[in-house]
Chain A
């Protein structure tokens, strides 16, 4: 691997101390990662595995206890590192009294956009997330799915090279998931690097070029989603196959943490039958 990575973490560790005695809890432990430019990278793991903490350290919102993190070669604690980053936090909230358009314009202005360029970019990204009709409405009246989409719009308004999306599909219905999936694919097609943070494996498996799985702050698996991996029809595994997969994972240092039935057939049935423009603006 040559050139500058979109994100490069080396020995990244984060301890949180609690109480008067300062009891330490290690949220991220010696994490080393390299996310190449142009990839869709899935950062996976169960709740509390350290995904969001890792992202916050990458964005300079948290200071690492040990190790370092660079974004396009710039230390993540520097403000300039964030010039090329767009971020959608988990369950985003925005200033409720601004309209969708005002909100995106506000974030655009913070990133240095002005005048005609600002107007053009705001129109582009609002159209990109399919919120043209609702752009004049106050954000406080938006549904969860619309909030996620306006969140994506603010993340990409300044046309960043790296887009970090933390649980972008959490709590969204299948139509919304399909729309956000399409949006991510569009971004990839435009050469953006995308980091997708999720704990739902099925939602990202179709999108990601490479994944890392974290558990209790440690990197458990990091690999490409090549043909060998994606060929597995996870939804059709029998108990026998599960045992086989578990043995295969353990042989390579991995752990099978959850087993669940994925209702992919229902999703396939549901999506095409719900109109894409369900969220219409209020009069």
Chain B
């Protein structure tokens, strides 16, 4: 019998089945409807806006929906799709074929990323459309506002959407790593959300490690800031006006940062899952 090389075709096959399954999950439909509803309803919330321009407020609101519901979708879908295979024992049938466990893990993450991509693209495009429509209305009503109304650059909106998508990629790989250790889907989901929180508090950990006098706290905070990816780097929505100024180089750095974390977390998930007893 000849050796069976790693096959991207098998990864693709598993990813396709995973994506089809994910697209049929209720959680996907629910978060998509909620996020799109909030983007469409952002205009109605402008009464609560006291500090920013109307278009900026709508953009922030839309990206808020993308952040919250995208995170929920990524964590829940990753955990459910992984444990669904183990609990229903479809993983046994699949891994009893000449399939590498690495192919299984990459297929799973590929399937999750497919639905996350659809989610990010739909929400971002809807936001773009909503902003364009409101911009045209504002320009017609108040021609003197033309300068500020043109302030939101469509490319910047897309760049912020891409940054969110990159963050969800890292989050999916992180959740899969947790799932490779976890015994239940619920545990993976809970720990996934805790990790999301920690990754957002990255700057706080750095500050604590630099300022505290306690060697214990400094050590713990230093470890946290070293081990976990910094999700604040992906949150460009607040500084959307300066995304254009940051330029392509910055976005490429962000892609590289996300790509490297995605690869490392994915590899560690494969390593952990390789020895997992099914």
Contact = CB atoms under 8 A, between A and B. Distances in A.
The yes or no verdict on A and B being binding partners is: yes
Interface of A: 16, 56, 59-63, 72, 74, 79-85, 87-89, 91-95, 97-98, 106-107, 109-112, 151, 154, 158
A154 B93 contact: yes
Given A81-B1, A97-B24, A111 B98 contact: yes
Given A92-B89, A97-B24, A82 B17 contact: no
Given A59-B95, A93-B88, 10 more contacts: A59-B96, A61-B95, A61-B96, A61-B278, A87-B92, A87-B93, A92-B89, A95-B90, A97-B21, A158-B97
B142 interface: no
Given A59-B96, A62-B277, A79-B4, A110 B13 contact: yes
A256 B277 CA distance: 32
A94 B96 CA distance: 14
B2 interface: yes
B21 A74 contact: no
Contacts of B4: 79-80, 83
B92 A89 contact: yes
20 contacts: A61-B92, A61-B96, A63-B277, A79-B98, A79-B100, A80-B2, A80-B3, A82-B98, A85-B96, A87-B96, A89-B89, A89-B92, A89-B93, A93-B90, A98-B20, A107-B94, A110-B14, A111-B97, A154-B93, A158-B97
Interface string B9-53: 110011001001100100000000000000000000000000000
A122 B275 CA distance: 33
B99 interface: yes
Contacts of A158: 97
B1 A72 contact: yes
Interface residues of B, number: 27
A107 B275 CA distance: 23
Contact of B10 (A59, A91, A110): A110
Nearest to B88: A93
Contact of B96 (A16, A72, A82): A82
A92 B90 CA distance: 7
Given A63-B275, A97-B24, A110 B90 contact: no
Contacts of A91: 89
A59 B97 CA distance: 9
Nearest to B100: A79
A114 B218 CA distance: 58
Nearest to B96: A87
Contact of B93 (A60, A74, A92): A92
Contacts of A84: 1
Contact of A109 (B2, B3, B13, B275): B13
A95 B98 contact: no
A91 B88 CA distance: 9
A240 to B, nearest CB: 45
